[in-house]
Amino acid sequence: MNNYERKPAQRKGSSKPAIVENHSSFKETDTLVYALGGLGEVGKNMYCIEHHDEIIIIDAGVRFPEENLLGVDYVIPDYTYLIRNQQKIKALIITHGHEDHIGGIPFLMQVLKLEKIYAPRFAKGLINRKLEERRMQNQVKIEEITNISRVETKYFKVGFFNTVHSIPDTLGLLVNTPNGRIVHTGDFKFDLTPVGTNSDYQLMAYMGQIGVDLLLSDSTNAGVKGFSISEKKVAAAILDITRRAQGRLIVASFASNVYRVRQIIEAAIACGRKISVFGRSMENVVDIARKLGHISVGEEHFLRPEQLNHTPANKVTIICTGSQGEPLAALSRIANGTHRYIKIIPGDTVVFSSSPIPGNANSVNRVVNSLTRAGANVLTNSPLNSIHTTGHASEEEQKLMLQLIKPKYFMPIHGEYKMLKQHADTGIETGVLPENVFICANGDAVVLRDGVCSLSDTRIQADDIYVDGSDTSGLSTSVIKDRRILSDNGMVAVIVSIDSRFNKILCRPSIVSRGFVYIKESQTLLKEAELLVYEALKKKMVGKTTFGELKNTIRGSLEPFLYQKTHRNPIVIPVILNQKAAMQPKATETR
């Protein structure tokens, strides 16, 4: 292991990092930099800079759950450390408006009182919409920031610089602390012909000249060679496809990719087409982008859903969600024929203006096959048609950022471990000393002391919290484990009738199985299991016992037997029915 790599400390008997919250290894005059989310993962971005009695938070995002997190809506950081140090929090600063940077704000506000959020204009619009939906808009003030804004506290002076991303109004941060300068890039790429505002190259170079002690930089595309293609090239490809489409044009993209949505709309208008937008998140983003002037298109260019069937096919462009094959998104419902307003007809052209996120390829392929089977001409991103480009810096762009900023110390952020490692190697390649590069995990604390960085042994609590419905407490973690067992091994319910007055079993137990074995072919197994439980309960009920002990007896006898016979561990649910007459005296005593 290289000396700049850090593996998370482990709790004994647990796969989770150890929790150490004392600051014994820190001096009161040190500045701490740590992440509660965003390291070793793509999403859940939340970075903190702490000095004495002040903390500034950079971003508050969510991560969308993997397929194995059954029933989970979002994954958010563990806010315990911030709750315990609420009096220190002086600012929440947002770099841009993507969900992995702002999606956690409503959950954070449930447990913390935030006086003010600093956010760029488009992010402010998205946050306001998010808070309005939850009736939380009056609980916090949101102050708009730009590249000329300044945020000052007792110990911190924060300035901003423009970066290019797939959403308007994206910012990087320069944080002046008592122990040195820290730059946080936010999400960025270098596009020499951008659709929106250009990067502040001169400002970045100036920061490199005056000296930056620690750089935190986006690692998402660290493994992608070369430069990413320009959004202008994608715009030209989309315009060409729109011109050549004979029938309706249906384009699926990320709702958050505002510049792409704008280009699709502009191409449609240039080709004399009307636009119809489907998908709640897409409708929200288009609405906010129009209000803020990022999409300058009049109402006359849009169609209501009920107008689609009365408009010639070659005069229609439909923009929708579902580019990742999400089952409930608009495009998936169009593909399987369950959409209320749109049915695929031969001659439709469907464009996936995106690339599948790792893990989504199978879902996307299913949707592509369904659309093709229905008669649509489907176009996906490939070297032959440049209909998508990333919003994150590829390897050469990451090198350019490192060369502009010229940091003394480097901490890759925003990426899975492999991405962080690749970005760290790039940092060394551009001149950062290997011992000055920190590959951290969530909760690791980098100490900045008089311009010198070191990695502390102290860790901040930084676990995952699963948002299951309205529960943000983390208590649903055990429920998730049960769902995994149910999905893999099924369930066995054991129903036992007893008379507690005489400590007697009234009849042999009945076993019901779901998702464990095919009942018709496993009658012998289930009968053996019933007999085994019956004998174990008879022995237990010779003397006085409790309902809890009976349930443990059922589990203790049945679980090893089922594993021995099937090599599977279903959830065993004991159900004990007590004779009604046995309950009567207790009811009388209660009265």
| 426, 402 contact by CB (below 8 A) | yes
User: What is the Cα 321 distance to its own chain's centre?
Assistant: 17
Q: Are strands 170-177 and 157-163 parallel, antiparallel or unpaired?
A: antiparallel
Residue whose pair of structure tokens reads 């009942």 in the numeric block: 519
> Which token pair is 560?
């090893």
Catalytic residue among 184, 294, 392, 423: 392
Helix (H) or strand (E) holding 153: none
Q: Which among 223, 219, 183, 189 has a CA at the least distance from the CA of 420?
A: 219
| 392 is known as an active-site residue | yes
In whole angstroms, what is the distance from residue 522 CA to residue 566 CA? 11
| Half-sphere exposure for 518 (CA within 13 Å, toward CB) | 2
Q: Are strands 407-413 and 212-218 parallel, antiparallel or unpaired?
A: parallel
| 59, 216 contact by CB (below 8 A) | no
In whole angstroms, what is the distance from residue 387 CA to residue 2 CA? 40
In whole angstroms, what is the distance from residue 381 CA to residue 76 CA? 31
Q: Which among 239, 258, 374, 292 has a CA at the least distance from the CA of 277?
A: 258
Q: Which among 193, 287, 273, 277 has a CA at the least distance from the CA of 241?
A: 273
Q: Are strands 31-37 and 46-51 parallel, antiparallel or unpaired?
A: antiparallel
- Please give the sequence-ordered ranges of beta strands (E in DSSP) within 190-265, or none if there are none: 212-218, 249-252
Query: At 154, is the secondary structure helix, strand, or coil?
Result: coil
> Which token pair is 57?
């938070």
Cα distances (Å, whole numbers) of residue 506 to 518, 541, 575, 582:
28, 12, 14, 12
Q: Give Dmax (Cα) for the chain.
A: 88
| 245, 153 contact by CB (below 8 A) | no
Which 8-state DSSP code applies to residue 295?
S
Cα distances (Å, whole numbers) of residue 323 to 266, 326, 367:
20, 8, 9
User: Would you say the C-alpha torsion 36, 39, 41, 46 has a positive or negative sign?
Assistant: positive
In whole angstroms, what is the distance from residue 396 CA to residue 241 CA? 30
In whole angstroms, what is the distance from residue 367 CA to residue 379 CA? 12
Which residues lie closer than 8 Å to 546 by C-beta, 6 or more apart? none
Catalytic residue among 218, 348, 444, 464: 218
| 218 is known as an active-site residue | yes
The DSSP annotation for 151-216 comes to EE-SS-EEEEEEEB-SSSSEEEEEEEETTEEEEE--S-B--SS-SSPPP-HHHHHHHHHH-EEEEE
Count other Cβ atoms within 10 Å, centred on residue 502: 11
Q: Which residues are catalytic?
A: 218, 392
